[in-house]
Amino acid sequence: MTRESSRTYGKRICLVCGTTFDAKYAAQLTCCDECRKMRGNMLKSTREKMQRKEFGELKNEIIVLRNEVRQLRQENQDLHEQLTLCGVRL
């Protein structure tokens, strides 16, 4: 094996299992296919968690907005009643 053919992108530490490995390509972050797949799953579950969190936040926002609308309706109704009592026709 010549020096040229054994050239790699250097020693790296696998992000999944922590093994030191010789990177065969620039973007390689894991030591083997199993770790690569595992990392893919980890990223996917992180994304799903983020989405769930965002969904939860949106739901809370909607609850707050609903309460505000209810309050506004109540204020509007109160105003109507007051004006009616004053004999103002709307």
Cα 26 from Cα 10, distance rounded (Å) = 9
Q: Is 29 in the site for Zn ion (CB under 5 A)?
A: no
CA distance to 6, 72, 87, per residue, from 3 (Å): 5, 77, 99
Nearer to Zn ion, 22 or 75 (CB): 22
Give min distance, CB of 1 to Zn ion, in A: 24
Give min distance, CB of 38 to Zn ion, in A: 8
Nearer to Zn ion, 17 or 23 (CB): 17
Applying CB under 5 A, among 12, 17, 28, 39 the residue interacting with Zn ion is: 17
Closest-CA residue to 42 (of 13, 17, 69)? 17
Applying CB under 5 A, among 9, 11, 12, 14 the residue interacting with Zn ion is: 14
* Burial per residue of 2-18, b for 16 or more beta-carbon CB atoms within 10 angstroms, e otherwise: eeeeeeeeeebebebee
Interacting residues toward Zn ion by CB under 5 A? 14, 16-17, 19, 31, 35
